[in-house]
Structure 1
Amino acid sequence: MFRSLLIANRGEIACRIMRTARRMGIRCIAVFSEADAGALHVALADEAHPIGPAAAHDSYLRADRIIEVARACGAEAIHPGYGFLSENAAFAEACAAAGISFVGPPPAAIRAMGSKAESKALMVAAGVPVVPGYHGEDQSEDRLAAEAARIGFPVLIKASAGGGGKGMRPVHSAADFLDELAGARREAKAAFGDDRVLLERYLQKPRHVEVQVFADRHGRTVHLHTRDCSVQRRHQKVLEEAPAPDLSPALRERLHVAAVAAAQAVGYVNAGTIEFIVEGEDAFFMEMNTRLQVEHPVTEMITGLDLVEWQLRVAAGEALPADWPPEPRGHAVEVRLYAEDPAQDYRPSVGTLRRFLPPAPTAGVRVDTGVRAGDTITPFYDPMIAKVIAAGSDRAEALERLTRALAETQLGGLTTNLGFLRRLVAHPAMRTGELDTGFAARHAAALIPPPREAPVEVLAGFTAVYLARPRLDAAGNSPWERSDGFRLFGAAEQLLLLRDEVRQRRVLVRRRRGHAEAVVDDGPSIRIAVDLSLGPRASLDGVWYPMPLALDDGVASLTFGGEDYTLRLLDPYAPRGGEAAAEGRLSAPIPGRVVQLLVGVGDRVARGQLVAILEAMKTELRISAPADGVVAHVGCAAGDSVEEGTEIVTLAPPEDGASPP
């Protein structure tokens, strides 16, 4: 077995690999970018080395620097994790040339499966069914449009060189094809450095089912059962479970056989995943991920295996056990906790994670994470915070345990999808297993409810905790230093102005000797108190409630009754009209690059009209007009890199008050 291992990755997967490697007695070496100098995986490593600036192409995608570090510190093997260089055949070859074991498949297998078009041809030759489509080399607009018409709309445009939903666009009519093709190519170029695409028939209610495969160097290839990854947003997985539910025994067996045949067709070694599109009893090969998958924990939970351990064992030359595959035990479900805003088309969030309390360790619950409270979610990498996984004797028990785990999870400081995940896991259609890739869009109204006013209890509870924050009044010897609300005449009063998701709210606090009262929006007086020793907790008219709170730059996030709320502190003495003056200014929500400007000064735009496209965190963000108006100023140009808050476009009201044509 290896004595030392370099992990060429970051985040939760780097931490996950370290836990296993250390248990096996292997020394763990981390690499990090400038943005990750204080990251958790760096703190956990036996030694850690800087490899460059924050941008991935200057650090985690620099194979030469990673190999240089591995040589300098005597690493015997490199584990690429997933993402970055994990499916890069040239990197695997560079490891071999340097005499370092690559924990993954042979370069030839990576190369064969790295191109969706080439892999489809290989699967046809191996007798594995594929979705009807076009995988040719002619990438001209005319040829692609003609092939789309031949296949018949709706069609699916997919990046040929990668996965993860990048460069993937469903197109429902010929009129939209060229615009969607251009967008898919931009995303593919940004994510993979290759803008080639392929076309497939767009199935109406497909399931995304995959099979975990494992192969050793001694000619043995096995499956480790199925996973269902149908619940997605923006064509990216958000909930996965194993085994895939509600498959007939015959279909399940066909998937196992086809997955093993696909891996054998390319001489595969180590862990990999064969992904299928399933509709009814039909199953079509989609792609192979020649690496460990993000969702590997659900397979581990039902098999009792440590897939990272077996990756290392196979890379060191060991044979797979003769009794594999083990029979699956029970069921497991995983959700991905992201820093993103589901209400804004899952726009990634950046900022400081002020509060992060994962669920308490219990039987059947696991949390994989690479961050801690106080860490920063940057615009440079995937915004995943953690994976929460729950297992049970059956699917119902696994979902119930996951429900409790998500209810215990506390986050604050930036916008996340925690509320979305809680509603997703509790949704009746999820409980009955009505799964397909359109699940999130079909149930969007329930999963992403409209903005709501914060309850009075939230405002009063926030006020109690906010006013109890640490003060510089420890001495208390002078009447000017005391903060007990004493006044010669009447009660001390303090006004707080807050904005929830819907409107401005007003809280008047009256301090009396020995207690305080809060009046929310001129309603009845509520007696408030706070206990900071357990949480904190707020007492509202004698009833105690947990009131976890994070406050960052005047924005508070707190959890109440299983729901998350955001409140913005306003200055009650600020001149009126400031917000209205800024309403027409459309700015960059996070740092990124302007890939397209669709308007110019003087153009009239309608509410909802697309005015610019910004690329950030491997995602295209579409910036639309919030109201009818005229473009008064353009603050950037296509191709510009912009910081958060940079003006993109400023709109003025239409002079005639009429809507644009």
Structure 2
Amino acid sequence: MSPITKLLIANRGEIASRVIRTAREMDIACVAVYSDADADALFVREADEAVRLPGTAPADTYLRGDLILEAARATGVDAIHPGYGFLSENSGFARDCAAAGIIFVGPPPEAIDSMGSKIEAKKTMAAAGVPVLPGITIDTEAEIDASALSARVAAEIGYPVLVKAAFGGGGRGMRIVRDEAGLIEAVEGARREAVTAFGDGTVFLERFLDSPRHIEVQIFADTQGNVVHLFERECSIQRRYQKIIEEAPSPVVDDALREELGRAAVAAGKAIGYVGAGTAEFVMGSDGGFYFLEVNTRLQVEHPVTELVTGLDLVRLQLEVAEGNPLPDEALHATVTGHAIEVRLYAEDVPAGFLPATGTVHGFSVPDLPGIRVDAGVSEGSEVGVHYDPMLAKVIAWGATRDQARRRLARALAESSLHGVVTNRELLVGILREPEFAAGTIDTGYLTRHDPVTLSRAGRGANIVAVHALAAALAAQAVRRASARVLGHVRSGYRNAPSGWQEAVFDIEGEEVDVRYRVGRSGLRAIVDGTELPGVVLHSATPDRVDLLVGGVRRPCAIRRVGDTAYVDSALGSTTVVEAERFPEPGSRNAPGSLLAPMPGTVVRVPVEVGAEVKEGTTILVLEAMKMEHTVSAPVDGTVTELRVRPGQTVDLGAVLAVVEAPE
């Protein structure tokens, strides 16, 4: 093959930026494709050229192979890198690239076909002697006979059962069923999600192992027949069956087990004629026994941890192999040095049940500490919508030991700022500092044993709301003083003679917080929600920084103000403080019993009708956002008196969806 001189990245977000970074180091020109929602995205600005894909939904843009090939021809590229997700495991697209004379930076279509169906992949691995779990397949068009399926599951698998989409990955379309009662609903829900995410509703059912470890092995192969493994990664910290923290190497895999895992992964690669970067995934029990899950025929989200411990650039290797070059000696004889841990920073509200979050990014920064790497898909001003995966960035730390990497990463995250969008940052910090994680005694059941909300609040100071509310009030007053036309030299809040209290009302985490303060000759007095704060001393107050002493502890607070919202950061944590509407319009309050949209999304199902009598927990409707389904349930026993939405309708955050009235 000829050298690649111009590369189109058929993806978006942080992976597009990641590929661009390495390609430019190799003097390869880069072309981005983008949807209307991504017109101002970071990766578009980083590319040398960019081509618009009209529309916003993935099916109309990033999943349109014909449009991407049209963009490739128009810009004269030599190759297409599919990143991960979207078309990265689409054998038809790989064939179309070959037919167009364009290099597909990935494995041969035949290898994708063999692993594209998890069902066929299991058969292939079983034939190769790799341990697999028994399962049942349900085709996308098959009618579901509830009684017959229940009988088969009881006889062939047993409970608990894992229901999983046959195509795709990322935890989409995955359900765990503990007993017969939830089986049919789980299968139907998985099929709907699979159709939306991957265009095929085929699912399979297999025995679910409670709380195993999730271990995967990075493999790499070239066109000269070399197939190697680049060691394992531990991916056991998951929520909703999607990884959020990964590390390399695994804290429980010794040299003997590492060799056994590596042999199995290499054998899998050879069995399917693999070329390029791929990952063999396994579940592992406490006895060290492992069972095949799947082979991901693409680069993985978590590839940076492998890069940091091996010193290899996996994207560079992908491009070199795609050019027809053999794997270099450093890949054929790779070694592990130190330890690396990666966290996925998601736009989601953990206390609200991991609901996707949207908004405009303000002030995103991660401190430049030793051993820290950031692969980001957003920057100042980026818009985070409902159309795509909620991952904003990956933050990765390397250390000579696992503990050093863990501590570095926890500190970097704790000192990071990302305003305007609710994220899972506090949860990630809480996990990294939790003793069980620190000891490496983890498995896929970690977040069932450890409450995510409790972990998210573990690092927050007890008086964070009071201190940050007062800081926000003083910063707002400083803004007003800065624009004052008279007595501009007088410090914020000062009164020459005793006078009434200054007052501010804020919305903090859904609660109304009242702040009253007064600055006089004797200093600052402050009352928050009726309680006077002890020993308050105001050292300084500017629009973007308030230095307070409260209860004998000095608390410098950084404030970033956007409209009526102040983002306050200190050693206590981070708080979003919204100035409350003091005099709302009459009739603007929602009626009692109103069910509000927890995030922007699309209504996919409304299984009840107006007038229906429902019990607490009954599904009223199902929303889809960021490729995930979210159920809106009745909060109490009552009657559905209003349904304001229909299937297919798009709704905004906070919109009234339905009203359930409780009996008098």
Please tell me the TM-score bracket, short chain as reference: over 0.9
User: Out of 202, 205, 210, which is 1:199 matched to?
Assistant: 205
Instruction: State the alpha-carbon separation in 1 of the partners of residues 578 and 463 from structure 2.
Output: 13
Instruction: State the alpha-carbon separation in 1 of the partners of residues 613 and 560 from structure 2.
Output: 41
| C-alpha contact (below 8 Å) 2:429/2:456 kept by paired residues | no
Q: What is the CA-CA distance between 1:552 and the residue it aligns to?
A: 4.9
Instruction: State the alpha-carbon separation in 2 of the partners of residues 460 and 173 from structure 1.
Output: 51
User: Out of 131, 142, 151, which is 1:146 matched to?
Assistant: 151
Q: What is the CA-CA distance between 1:390 and the residue it aligns to?
A: 0.6
> Match for residue 505 of structure 1?
513
Relative to structure 1, the CA distance from residue 97 to residue 48 in structure 2 (aligned partners, 3 Å threshold; closer, same or farther) is same
**Unaligned segments of structure 1, at least 5 residues:** 656-661
Relative to structure 1, the CA distance from residue 244 to residue 460 in structure 2 (aligned partners, 3 Å threshold; closer, same or farther) is same
Instruction: State the alpha-carbon separation in 2 of the partners of residues 626 and 32 from structure 1.
Output: 40
**Unaligned segments of structure 2, at least 5 residues:** none
> Match for residue 338 of structure 1?
346
Instruction: State the alpha-carbon separation in 2 of the partners of residues 488 and 247 from structure 1.
Output: 70
| C-alpha contact (below 8 Å) 1:518/1:528 kept by paired residues | no
Instruction: State the alpha-carbon separation in 1 of the partners of residues 20 and 64 from structure 2.
Output: 21
Structure 1 residue identity aligned to 2:559: L
User: Out of 614, 629, 636, which is 2:645 matched to?
Assistant: 636
Aligned 1:529-540 pairs, distance under 5 A: 530-532=540-542, 536-540=545-549
Structure 2 residue identity aligned to 1:289: N
> Could you give the per-residue CA deviations for residues 109-141 of structure 1, whole angstroms, max 9, x where no partner exists?
111111011111111122222122224759442
1:617 maps onto 2:623 in alignment = no
Of the structure 1 ranges 549-558 and 281-290, higher mean CA displacement relative to structure 2 is found in 549-558
User: Out of 281, 287, 294, which is 2:294 matched to?
Assistant: 287
| C-alpha contact (below 8 Å) 1:239/1:335 kept by paired residues | yes
| C-alpha contact (below 8 Å) 1:354/1:551 kept by paired residues | no
| C-alpha contact (below 8 Å) 1:403/1:426 kept by paired residues | yes
1:235 maps onto 2:237 in alignment = no
| C-alpha contact (below 8 Å) 2:5/2:27 kept by paired residues | yes
> Match for residue 433 of structure 2?
426
Of the structure 1 ranges 104-113 and 323-332, higher mean CA displacement relative to structure 2 is found in 323-332
Instruction: State the alpha-carbon separation in 2 of the partners of residues 128 and 628 from structure 1.
Output: 51
> Match for residue 100 of structure 1?
102
Relative to structure 1, the CA distance from residue 399 to residue 472 in structure 2 (aligned partners, 3 Å threshold; closer, same or farther) is closer
Instruction: State the alpha-carbon separation in 2 of the partners of residues 380 and 549 from structure 1.
Output: 30
Structure 1 residue identity aligned to 2:344: R
User: Out of 558, 565, 579, which is 1:569 matched to?
Assistant: 579
> Match for residue 42 of structure 1?
44
Instruction: State the alpha-carbon separation in 2 of the partners of residues 265 and 519 from structure 1.
Output: 70
Q: What is the CA-CA distance between 1:72 and the residue it aligns to?
A: 1.3
User: Out of 160, 165, 173, which is 2:171 matched to?
Assistant: 165
Equivalent position SS for 2:185? helix
Q: What is the CA-CA distance between 1:358 and the residue it aligns to?
A: 1.4
Instruction: State the alpha-carbon separation in 2 of the partners of residues 485 and 232 from structure 1.
Output: 48
| C-alpha contact (below 8 Å) 2:54/2:60 kept by paired residues | yes
> Match for residue 608 of structure 2?
599
| C-alpha contact (below 8 Å) 2:355/2:599 kept by paired residues | no
> Match for residue 127 of structure 1?
129
Of the structure 1 ranges 587-596 and 16-25, higher mean CA displacement relative to structure 2 is found in 587-596
| C-alpha contact (below 8 Å) 2:595/2:658 kept by paired residues | yes
Q: What is the CA-CA distance between 1:465 and the residue it aligns to?
A: 2.1
Relative to structure 1, the CA distance from residue 448 to residue 482 in structure 2 (aligned partners, 3 Å threshold; closer, same or farther) is closer
Of the structure 1 ranges 342-351 and 228-237, higher mean CA displacement relative to structure 2 is found in 342-351
| C-alpha contact (below 8 Å) 2:175/2:190 kept by paired residues | yes
> Could you give the per-residue CA deviations for residues 320-377 of structure 1, whole angstroms, max 9, x where no partner exists?
12452311011100000011011222111011112312122x3211111011122111
Equivalent position SS for 1:99? coil
> Match for residue 82 of structure 1?
84
Structure 2 residue identity aligned to 1:105: P
User: Out of 26, 30, 33, which is 1:31 matched to?
Assistant: 33
Instruction: State the alpha-carbon separation in 1 of the partners of residues 433 and 486 from structure 2.
Output: 50
Of the structure 1 ranges 632-641 and 538-547, higher mean CA displacement relative to structure 2 is found in 538-547
1:463 maps onto 2:473 in alignment = yes
> Could you give the per-residue CA deviations for residues 69-106 of structure 1, whole angstroms, max 9, x where no partner exists?
11111111111111111111111111111111111111
> Match for residue 659 of structure 1?
none
| C-alpha contact (below 8 Å) 2:603/2:649 kept by paired residues | yes
Instruction: State the alpha-carbon separation in 2 of the partners of residues 80 and 354 from structure 1.
Output: 29
Relative to structure 1, the CA distance from residue 527 to residue 437 in structure 2 (aligned partners, 3 Å threshold; closer, same or farther) is same
1:350 maps onto 2:358 in alignment = yes
Relative to structure 1, the CA distance from residue 530 to residue 10 in structure 2 (aligned partners, 3 Å threshold; closer, same or farther) is farther
| C-alpha contact (below 8 Å) 1:440/1:447 kept by paired residues | no
| C-alpha contact (below 8 Å) 1:485/1:492 kept by paired residues | no
Relative to structure 1, the CA distance from residue 444 to residue 82 in structure 2 (aligned partners, 3 Å threshold; closer, same or farther) is same
1:547 maps onto 2:548 in alignment = no
Equivalent position SS for 2:479? coil
Of the structure 1 ranges 412-421 and 593-602, higher mean CA displacement relative to structure 2 is found in 593-602
Aligned 1:209-228 pairs, distance under 5 A: 209-228=215-234
1:249 maps onto 2:255 in alignment = yes
Instruction: State the alpha-carbon separation in 2 of the partners of residues 600 and 500 from structure 1.
Output: 35
| C-alpha contact (below 8 Å) 1:14/1:81 kept by paired residues | yes
Instruction: State the alpha-carbon separation in 1 of the partners of residues 328 and 567 from structure 2.
Output: 50
Structure 2 residue identity aligned to 1:88: N
Relative to structure 1, the CA distance from residue 564 to residue 475 in structure 2 (aligned partners, 3 Å threshold; closer, same or farther) is closer
1:317 maps onto 2:324 in alignment = yes
| C-alpha contact (below 8 Å) 1:464/1:529 kept by paired residues | no
| C-alpha contact (below 8 Å) 1:464/1:538 kept by paired residues | no
| C-alpha contact (below 8 Å) 1:185/1:197 kept by paired residues | yes
Of the structure 1 ranges 581-590 and 459-468, higher mean CA displacement relative to structure 2 is found in 581-590
Structure 2 residue identity aligned to 1:444: D
| C-alpha contact (below 8 Å) 1:461/1:528 kept by paired residues | no
Instruction: State the alpha-carbon separation in 1 of the partners of residues 393 and 218 from structure 2.
Output: 22
1:262 maps onto 2:268 in alignment = yes
> Match for residue 406 of structure 2?
399
1:520 maps onto 2:528 in alignment = yes
| C-alpha contact (below 8 Å) 1:457/1:540 kept by paired residues | no
> Match for residue 6 of structure 2?
4
Instruction: State the alpha-carbon separation in 1 of the partners of residues 205 and 494 from structure 2.
Output: 74
> Could you give the per-residue CA deviations for residues 382-425 of structure 1, whole angstroms, max 9, x where no partner exists?
11111110111111111111111111111222211011011011
Structure 2 residue identity aligned to 1:141: I
Instruction: State the alpha-carbon separation in 2 of the partners of residues 106 and 72 from structure 1.
Output: 25
Equivalent position SS for 2:351? helix
Equivalent position SS for 1:256? helix
1:584 maps onto 2:593 in alignment = yes
> Match for residue 16 of structure 1?
18
Instruction: State the alpha-carbon separation in 1 of the partners of residues 322 and 522 from structure 2.
Output: 68
Instruction: State the alpha-carbon separation in 2 of the partners of residues 485 and 284 from structure 1.
Output: 66
Equivalent position SS for 1:294? coil
Instruction: State the alpha-carbon separation in 1 of the partners of residues 477 and 493 from structure 2.
Output: 12
> Could you give the per-residue CA deviations for residues 410-448 of structure 1, whole angstroms, max 9, x where no partner exists?
122221101101101111110111111111121116325
- The TM-score, its normalising length taken from structure 2, stands at 0.92
| C-alpha contact (below 8 Å) 1:157/1:199 kept by paired residues | yes
1:411 maps onto 2:415 in alignment = no
> Could you give the per-residue CA deviations for residues 558-590 of structure 1, whole angstroms, max 9, x where no partner exists?
3333423333322334479965x4452212233
Relative to structure 1, the CA distance from residue 287 to residue 306 in structure 2 (aligned partners, 3 Å threshold; closer, same or farther) is same
Q: What is the CA-CA distance between 1:304 and the residue it aligns to?
A: 0.2
Relative to structure 1, the CA distance from residue 136 to residue 522 in structure 2 (aligned partners, 3 Å threshold; closer, same or farther) is closer
1:560 maps onto 2:567 in alignment = no
Instruction: State the alpha-carbon separation in 2 of the partners of residues 645 and 354 from structure 1.
Output: 22
Q: What is the CA-CA distance between 1:611 and the residue it aligns to?
A: 1.8
Structure 2 residue identity aligned to 1:116: K
Aligned 1:485-504 pairs, distance under 5 A: 490-491=498-499, 493-501=501-509, 503-504=511-512
